[in-house]
Structure 1
Amino acid sequence: MRTAAGKISFAALSVLYPGLIFCGLCFWGLRPRVLSIALLAIAFFNLVALLKTAGRGRKQALKSSLLFFFALACGLFAFATDNILSLKFYPVTVSVGLLALFGSTLAFGPSLVFRLACLGDKTLKNSAQRQFVEPYCTKVTIVWCAFFVFNGSIAAYTCFAGSDKLWALYNGLISYILMGILFASEFIIRKIVQKKMIQYKYISTFSRDSRAADSIFAFDGNGDRNIKTWADFTADVSKVRQEIEAGPQKAWLLNFEDSYYFMVALVAVMQGGKAAKISANRSQEFIKEICTEGVSFLTDIPADGATLIQDVIEKHEDDGKWVMFDPKSSDVDMYTSGTTGKPKISPKKFIQLEDEVNEFATQFLEKYDHAYVVRTVNHHHIFGLTFSLLLALMSGAPFRRNTVEFPEELKALKAHRLVIVASPAFLKRLAGGKNEPVDFAETPFILSAGGLLPEDAAAETEKILKYWPTEIYGSTETGCMAHRQSKNGPLYKPFPHNVITLTQDGCLHVESPYIYDEGGFSTADLVKLEEDGRFTLLGRIDSIVKIEEKRISLPEVEMRLRQTGLVQDVRVIAMAGKRQYLAAAIALNCDGKEKFKDAAKLEMNKFFRNFLSQYLESTVIPKRWRFPERLPQDAMGKIKTADIKALFEDSQEDPNYKIHNADVQGNAATIEIEIPETSDFYNGHFDTFKLLPAVVQVNFVMKLAHKYLGTSLSMQKIQRTKFTSPILPDTRILLDLNYDKDTGRIAFCFRNAEGKKYSSGTIKIGTEV
């Protein structure tokens, strides 16, 4: 490394060079051959710099090489010819050299200014914020190139046409003043741009002043109520962190209704050096299974043995600290339920979540700029957590504290720029209903994940919400792998750092920086992989079945049924009887409901069979059909095979009642039932005023608890009942069931969608059936 004295001497010589040449010629009477020593000295300093920076980067080597070459050439020419022109031409060669250096990076990228910015912030190169910083740096590089053209032109003019005084004045003073003005102007503009630019950071690198204290962090309702600021968040994290640090627990199970409290708890647990266990399942049996020794339950809803976060916040005072944590050693366990419905654990490090968010943000971060984030999915699932909460926090976008349940709620937010994190189930309901277009002030950005979104549902979503949803393909184990908009075709485009290959079975295999399993992760999804890396989903490997020795793809049958234009949702499954056959469950859209509103089920069966006969052999056309109002699905819109099979359990559909939907979560279920006026349940009791008898309601509780919650015990006694309102014919009712295996009690409530109660109570079960 050059000494400080050497650096000062070199800088002084370079800056004072024009004045030195002018004084040497006009006042000291020195010949050009003598003055050429100054250029040779500059060449020597650049040679030393070139040798010292060998192997440290091409940019510095190229710069030193150009300056050495130009200084040496001009110096030797002046010494050999004793000509003043070669001495005066050196400033021109410097501008030409710097123009070549800056311009070459524009041609081959990235720009020189961006490379210099990366030296100051080593995380910038791989950060999602690069998509904002790099274009700005490119513009600055172009401005400098234009300056070098201008400066070199003026320098050339003073060299060939100007007097010695004009040459010395411009090259020794004016050019430096212009350069300083350019530096100062760029600095001021950069600060203005930075204030407008989205400030994206990893959560683990946050400090207490990473955001403005009064900036909106989370909101409720339409964005104007129950607002929480960054100051509120940092204070509440401090309070909860103190509780986490003081306790002996090694891990905390987190389950919250309020997304704000959830994020406070998650960050506080990470700062407290403990592990976080995240699950949407809050049944007592599940909590007991997880909350073993060393694990406690933190929530915002009262529950046996749980710690309420509201009490913790009330208990402590803000200590003013913000604790950074190591994301590589911070554990976050995600509990999920697969298609079998059995919960499973997916262990992660917090850095994997941050890296996954960063991968997505490299493509879509600008969509979160000055946006409000709302969600229709549960924030305990990986999709809701990463895209509606973590990315919102990392980009400074406010998020809604509670879930959007109905499309009408979006109208209250139409004045804001929105990011809508939705499940396919929500968008299919939106598309299948009679919803008027929402007059958004600015087009929203809509994400969908958790399953395939039918193209007709995506098209209808665009009509209503003004944006064709961007679908994300991924899983809890892999994170986000690829994305698409189905209006552009069925192909998914992988995110930049995901490497997609095929297994021997033709299933998708992925390797990425945020999958730590050695060798990556193999899915059960069959895909067709294109040469450019894009791919088409062909269904799961277990979706290929043999019927009468003929291989058939279940997704293909579902796709054909969608082509009728009458289907909102469909699932085809293989059933086993004397021989294997197919069964189809179809939820009709508005057109389908209109077409078949007066049709018998036999007529509906015949229509769909005839339609499929155009494409499929008769042996693989479904033999059994069900037409529920909605297909049974969980909170993320995933349809489980077991729930579809349950629709076909009875040899024939019961004419006395119809189950439209069943939402089962662990030991709790909500079943939507309709009992027609023609039902036998209304006969023989109150002929002049038909209502559903209490004995029938109790029978429903026992029968449906057995079907959906797996109870196999008979009723011992009815411990408590309350009949509030009569259930009249053709009333759409909801039955809430909660089964406590430890006490053998089934709590039930008959109500309508608006919350009006018809009856409720508790039944004690005991003896084996």
Structure 2
Amino acid sequence: MARVDAWQQWLDRQPASQPGARWVLFQSTTLGACVQLLAVWERGMLAVLPGDDRPETLARLREISAGQLPTTTVDGWPQQADQSGNPPSKSHIVPTAHVPLAPDQLALELCTSGSTGEPLRIAKRFDQLDAELAIHQQLWPLADTANGQVSLSQVSHQHIYGLLTALLRPLCTGVPFLSEACHYPEQLSAAISQLASQGYRCQVISSPAQLARLPQITTAEAGQVLRVFSSGAPLPEAAARHAEISLHAPIIEIYGSTETGGIAQRRQRDGAEWSPLPCVELRFSDEGQENISSQEAPTPASSLWLRSPFLDMPTEWWPQADRAEVCEQKYQDGQQRFRLLGRSDRLVKLAGKRISLSAVERCLNEQSDVLEIRCLPMPTREHRLGAVIVMAPDAIPHDHNTRRALIAHLRRALMPAFERIALPRYWRFVTRLPLNAQGKFTSEAIARLFADLDDHRLPRWLGEHSSGPEQLTLEAEVPDSLIYLEGHFAQQPLVPGVVMLKWARDLGKRLHLDGQQVDEARFIRLERIKFSSLLLPGMRFTLDATLTHDSHGLRIDFRLASSAGLHASGRLRYSVSGASPLSESSFRQSPTSLSSQPPAHSQEAS
């Protein structure tokens, strides 16, 4: 508790140190967030948890708060040092008196985009948080027992799901937690392996985005994962099955939202239906029938209402923006089980016609090879829809002709049931939805998927994955509208070699290695550059980039390939601080002027 006392003393030195003050709290480590949260609460203050650390987000919240808590040290202390450069000693920390807390007192505000995309702040009282933690402990006991249990997280504690399961839950039950989130599959595998060798069993807090790329743990580690939680979006059945096999543990999905807290849970091995959490009352009624009796038989597809101690007003019915299909078989406690059918508010008006996005998605989902789909109105293309289709890797189109044939097939499937205006115009085919750490399909991901419609210099972004901060793999297509295809060449347009180098360079700028990034001003030269085959319009490709440090400085190794084979590979060399970079003038010429001829095959430069 010395760290908590140190942060309380830091708060006491601030001008706005009175009880009730609101402090913005964003920490990358669970330990840092934990000690600051306790310090704020024990001073009778309110924590404001932003969902991201973008400068504009933090600046907006600072304007309506007492200030922002600074970043902690790795082990949770304030960033203060004595004359020798050491952090404050425990012996210098004097325990301070705590402000009494009441159950109905506001504990924190969580920031969420809401269904409209506009920022919202959702307040939570202590009694709301305590009620949900009690249900978790009832359903999924967690304790610091003799066999040892540890909590591992792959999600952010800045959101309600991660806050409850990855921070408050282990804190309240006295179970150790890993401070650093295991964002990458290799990190999770290494953490499970290390803890298993010491006799610990792990509870893993994850999301659909993370579970889609799980590592296969070894036989020796089997049984050392106690359970895995997932939330943020429904987990596809195939991903749930893969995760259970990979981790040898039950995958428990929690359905809910920031406003409602947890609503229901399921384990897909036992069925696709959701079972309400204890203390959560559900009501199924058609829109507008707000006074329907809970004893009346609901329609097959109804709006979902709930009453819960996790809500701000626990005795009032809350309308959830989802439609549900009630199952005939009830849960073991008599509660009604249900299937989710999508949001009830997903109606858009296109050219004066009301279109149900959920209905379009259901029709497309019935097609073979379609695993998941999201339809959306295009903000920069009036009266047209976009569609993001998840397919198995062997069903994904890899060239212009197969892509056009697939689009034509999907449009024909829609024509009998929908007017032409409801048929998507813009299609993106992916192997998995680009979800954020909370399992959300965000406006930022949508913008990246369709960015090439407005910026014809970009490849068509279809997702990316990484094994660590020093490596990144981009999945993309060559759009027919790519500006660099003009004049290269009339008989057969192709992507100039210098454009492939530019894409590799842009990807490499995003890599980190032990806190280092490449500095564009310190570019030296290209090495081992090879253009092996032509990259044509409509081709789907992967671009892999890895940042490495050697005796000559930093280098980015890249490889651009498609189902047709390797197209380009090589290295980008950068000096480090203290070395003299060479001029970049030769590299900065326009892509068009450097590519008056097709890329030479199998030529190598050093």
Give the structure-1-normalised TM-score.
0.53
1:527 to 2:324 alignment: yes
> For 2:523, which of 723, 745, 755 is the aligned residue?
723
CA distance in 2, matches of 1:636, 1:585: 19
CA distance in 2, matches of 1:437, 1:597: 38
Deviation (angstroms), 1:537: 1.5
CA distance in 2, matches of 1:508, 1:752: 52
Question: Is the Cα–Cα contact under 8 Å of residues 573 and 641 in structure 1 kept in the other structure?
Answer: no
Q: Which residue of 1 aligns with 2:110?
A: 334
Question: Is the Cα–Cα contact under 8 Å of residues 566 and 590 in structure 1 kept in the other structure?
Answer: no
> For 1:491, which of 261, 269, 273 is the aligned residue?
273
Q: Which residue of 2 aligns with 1:461?
A: 243
Paired AA for residue 166 in structure 2 = S
Question: Is the Cα–Cα contact under 8 Å of residues 305 and 320 in structure 2 kept in the other structure?
Answer: yes
CA distance in 1, matches of 2:186, 2:128: 35
Q: Which residue of 1 aligns with 2:307?
A: 511
1:239 to 2:17 alignment: no
Cα deviation per residue 1:516-541 (whole Å; 9 max; x = unaligned)?
A: 33624322112234574332222112
Structure 2: give runs of 5+ residues left out of the alignment: 82-86, 288-301, 466-471, 489-493, 509-518, 532-540, 547-554, 560-570, 576-606
Deviation (angstroms), 1:247: 2.7
Change (3 A) 1:681 1:444: farther
Q: Which residue of 1 aligns with 2:295?
A: none
Change (3 A) 1:538 1:629: closer
Question: Is the Cα–Cα contact under 8 Å of residues 300 and 308 in structure 1 kept in the other structure?
Answer: no
CA distance in 1, matches of 2:381, 2:249: 48
> Structure 2 matches for 1:177-188, cutoff 5 A?
none
> For 1:319, which of 94, 97, 111 is the aligned residue?
94
CA distance in 2, matches of 1:605, 1:621: 10
Q: Which residue of 2 aligns with 1:149?
A: none
CA distance in 2, matches of 1:477, 1:577: 30
Q: Which residue of 2 aligns with 1:592?
A: 395
SS at 2:320 equivalent: strand
1:280 to 2:51 alignment: yes
Paired AA for residue 640 in structure 1 = T
**Alpha carbon RMSD of aligned pairs, Å?**
4.7
CA distance in 2, matches of 1:335, 1:576: 24
Q: Which residue of 1 aligns with 2:543?
A: 732
Question: Is the Cα–Cα contact under 8 Å of residues 142 and 173 in structure 2 kept in the other structure?
Answer: no
Deviation (angstroms), 1:613: 5.8
Q: Which residue of 1 aligns with 2:591?
A: none
Question: Is the Cα–Cα contact under 8 Å of residues 270 and 325 in structure 1 kept in the other structure?
Answer: no
Change (3 A) 1:338 1:308: farther
Deviation (angstroms), 1:371: 2.0
CA distance in 2, matches of 1:509, 1:339: 17
Change (3 A) 1:681 1:237: same
Paired AA for residue 523 in structure 1 = Q
> For 2:446, which of 644, 662, 666 is the aligned residue?
644
Deviation (angstroms), 1:607: 4.6
Question: Is the Cα–Cα contact under 8 Å of residues 339 and 641 in structure 1 kept in the other structure?
Answer: no
> Structure 2 matches for 1:419-458, cutoff 5 A?
419-430=203-214, 439-458=221-240
Cα deviation per residue 1:118-143 (whole Å; 9 max; x = unaligned)?
A: xxxxxxxxxxxxxxxxxxxxxxxxxx
Change (3 A) 1:498 1:677: closer
CA distance in 1, matches of 2:525, 2:371: 34
Deviation (angstroms), 1:288: 2.1
Paired AA for residue 590 in structure 1 = P
> For 2:29, which of 234, 239, 258 is the aligned residue?
258
SS at 2:436 equivalent: coil
Paired AA for residue 79 in structure 2 = Q
Q: Which residue of 1 aligns with 2:79?
A: 310
CA distance in 2, matches of 1:496, 1:647: 40
Deviation (angstroms), 1:301: 6.6
SS at 1:237 equivalent: helix
Cα deviation per residue 1:214-255 (whole Å; 9 max; x = unaligned)?
A: xxxxxxxxxxxxxxxxxxxx1211221222234332222111
Question: Is the Cα–Cα contact under 8 Å of residues 51 and 110 in structure 2 kept in the other structure?
Answer: no
Cα deviation per residue 1:557-591 (whole Å; 9 max; x = unaligned)?
A: 54565566745653122458999554321243333
1:605 to 2:407 alignment: yes
Question: Is the Cα–Cα contact under 8 Å of residues 384 and 425 in structure 2 kept in the other structure?
Answer: yes
CA distance in 1, matches of 2:572, 2:99: 49
Deviation (angstroms), 1:390: 0.5
SS at 1:472 equivalent: strand
Cα deviation per residue 1:156-202 (whole Å; 9 max; x = unaligned)?
A: xxxxxxxxxxxxxxxxxxxxxxxxxxxxxxxxxxxxxxxxxxxxxxx
Give the structure-2-normalised TM-score.
0.66
1:417 to 2:177 alignment: no
Paired AA for residue 402 in structure 1 = E
CA distance in 2, matches of 1:487, 1:603: 36
CA distance in 1, matches of 2:558, 2:101: 46
Question: Is the Cα–Cα contact under 8 Å of residues 376 and 423 in structure 1 kept in the other structure?
Answer: yes
Q: Which structure features the higher share of helix residues?
A: 1
Give 4+ residue runs of structure 1 displaced > 6 Å after superposition.
Answer: 546-552, 576-579, 675-680, 693-701, 727-731, 750-754, 756-760
Deviation (angstroms), 1:374: 0.9
Deviation (angstroms), 1:262: 0.9
Question: Is the Cα–Cα contact under 8 Å of residues 582 and 624 in structure 1 kept in the other structure?
Answer: yes
Question: Is the Cα–Cα contact under 8 Å of residues 255 and 282 in structure 1 kept in the other structure?
Answer: yes
Q: Which of 575-584 and 525-534 deviates more?
A: 575-584
CA distance in 1, matches of 2:45, 2:266: 37
Structure 1: give runs of 5+ residues left out of the alignment: 1-233, 664-669, 702-718, 736-749, 761-769
Question: Is the Cα–Cα contact under 8 Å of residues 443 and 467 in structure 1 kept in the other structure?
Answer: yes
Paired AA for residue 348 in structure 1 = K
> For 1:358, which of 124, 127, 134 is the aligned residue?
134
Question: Is the Cα–Cα contact under 8 Å of residues 106 and 123 in structure 2 kept in the other structure?
Answer: no
Paired AA for residue 240 in structure 1 = W
CA distance in 2, matches of 1:675, 1:614: 27
Change (3 A) 1:246 1:566: same
SS at 1:591 equivalent: helix
Deviation (angstroms), 1:378: 0.8
Change (3 A) 1:362 1:529: same
Change (3 A) 1:468 1:569: farther
SS at 1:572 equivalent: strand
Q: Which of 651-660 and 259-268 deviates more?
A: 651-660
Change (3 A) 1:673 1:514: closer
Paired AA for residue 409 in structure 1 = Q
Question: Is the Cα–Cα contact under 8 Å of residues 323 and 340 in structure 2 kept in the other structure?
Answer: yes
CA distance in 2, matches of 1:676, 1:339: 32
> Structure 2 matches for 1:36-55, cutoff 5 A?
none
CA distance in 2, matches of 1:525, 1:592: 30
Q: Which residue of 2 aligns with 1:400?
A: 178
Deviation (angstroms), 1:401: 0.9
SS at 2:48 equivalent: strand
Deviation (angstroms), 1:421: 0.8
Q: Which structure features the higher share of strand residues?
A: 2
CA distance in 2, matches of 1:722, 1:691: 19
> Structure 2 matches for 1:683-694, cutoff 5 A?
690-692=497-499
Change (3 A) 1:523 1:564: same
Q: Which of 514-523 and 476-485 deviates more?
A: 514-523
CA distance in 2, matches of 1:721, 1:562: 49
